[in-house]
Structure 1
Amino acid sequence: MFGFLSWLPSGSERLPLHGNRVNSIPKKGNVLMCYWTQDERAIVDALLERRPDLSNCLEYIHKFHIALTECFDKKHCFFTCGNGGSHADALHIVGELCKSFERKRPLEDTFRASLAGLPFGADLAEYLEAGLPAITLGLNGALKTAIENDCPLPNIAFAQELNALMGPGDMLLAISTSGNARNCLMAMSVAKARGGIVATLTGPTGGQMAGFADIAIKAPGNSTKVIQEAHVAIWHTLCLLIEARYFPDLR
């Protein structure tokens, strides 16, 4: 679907990600045997230095990293959704993926060549950055209000939008501190029915969403604001890990 991802690197230096690897990360005793690169290990160490309370999330951060890498490797799309502060997080995640976060993201040579001779082509070739295909649900006000006006079933807007956009192999991250957001659960059902991978980022109980997800990251915290603070640390780390996987050079 996303031909512009032809620049994604491949080769023996990349972590092999095959089959059900996302659900079969090996352990030795109670220690997770993570297959991080040196750069990825440094990112994880920095997270744990700042937030040692997130060590119990590491296994699921790793599973998420594997799944999203497979999604992008196979030229699929990543979707996010949430409500209120979680919607803001969903937007922020997509912002970090679609342009440079902390690393240089040069365009592939073939695309730069394709811009030559087109209006503003030289400027675009100089200033555009490679991006990863990511979309936040719920931004189309015309669609959302039409659904709310026309459909008797409440909370269906995320699900309807995802039904129009998602294909097999795509991935959804649904964010909710309670883990019980009805519109997120509906979107998760659509994602599974469409053959996608479903991940959640919730509070410590996980709610219904964690029980239904392929990958569930449960952040610690005894209040919404504390859980959301943990969410920011987790998804910033996830974005750093994904960027390090595809783009080797820091800015």
Structure 2
Amino acid sequence: MTALEDDTIDDGRHCDALRDALPSFRASAARLESWGSRLADRLGRGARLLVAGNGGSAAQAQHLTAELVGRYREDRPAYSALALHADTSSTTAIANDYGVQEVFARQTRAHGRPGDVLLLMSTSGASANLLTAAGEARRIGMTVWTLTGPAPNPLEAAGDEALCVVAPVAATVQELHLVAVHMICEAFDRAIARQDGAAARVEPARYRVRVEES
């Protein structure tokens, strides 16, 4: 984890930092709802989500993909989501052969398709390998969303949409990124449930038409 400040904070101040950051973060709830709903639509039509981050953000990325490939709360179908750091053989081979800056861009080139989504997570918003991946994704025709620390930062500008957590230390940013992951998953599941409900309502009508025509 890369600290935004060198100062350490005791347990009480740690909780205070999280409390102070929550009001502005809650104002971003509509964006997270939109991301989750749009992901449900795209992944439901066969697109995939690619997610990348470094260090603690890599763990957050893998947390999100696990919730989508597995489940968040209720059982539902599996959806395509890849955490790009998780293939250690590919990641280390790319870093060795092409440089660390290419570890996510080359995988984006391999797995990404027009209409897919690339979600990049960074407390600093300045990681070179994420910025390179963002550029590659946009060249392909993917949508790029970024979760970062305080704005302005380079990654905020590199994507199509950004959610920038306003907090003075990286620990607080990462904690709220985890909240963001769960809020995306909740919105995703609600959207999937709405889709399933709509399909269930339409199917009987189609069946009645077929019966009447026969």
TM range (shorter): 0.7 to 0.9
1:234: Cα distance to partner?
A: 1.3
1:60: Cα distance to partner?
A: 2.4
Match of 2:114 in 1: 168
Is 1:158 paired with 2:104? yes
1:162: Cα distance to partner?
A: 1.1
Is 1:147 paired with 2:94? yes
Match of 1:136 in 2: 83
**Conserved? CA contact 1:200–1:217, under 8 Å:** yes
Is 1:196 paired with 2:142? yes
SS at match of 1:183: helix
1:148: Cα distance to partner?
A: 2.4
Match of 2:210 in 1: none
When normalised by structure 2's length, the TM-score is 0.75
Match of 1:48 in 2: none
1:70 is aligned with what amino acid? D
State the alpha-carbon separation in 2 of the partners of residues 66 and 206 from structure 1.
26
Equivalent runs, 1:224-243 vs 2, <5 Å? 224-243=170-189
**Conserved? CA contact 1:172–1:196, under 8 Å:** yes
Equivalent runs, 1:1-80 vs 2, <5 Å? 51-80=22-51
**Conserved? CA contact 1:174–1:200, under 8 Å:** yes
1:66: Cα distance to partner?
A: 4.2
Which of 112, 120, 124 is the equivalent residue of 1:178? 124
Specify whether residues 72 and 206 from structure 1 end up closer, same or farther in structure 2 by C-alpha distance, changes over 3 A only.
farther
State the alpha-carbon separation in 2 of the partners of residues 66 and 212 from structure 1.
22
Match of 2:206 in 1: none
* Bigger RCO (CA 8 Å, 6+ sep): 2
In structure 1, stretches of 5+ residues that fail to align are 1-50, 106-129
1:192: Cα distance to partner?
A: 0.5
In structure 2, stretches of 5+ residues that fail to align are 1-21, 197-214
1:173-217 deviation digits (Å, cap 9, x = unpaired) = 000011111111111111111110000000121411111211101
**Conserved? CA contact 2:52–2:61, under 8 Å:** yes
1:72 is aligned with what amino acid? L
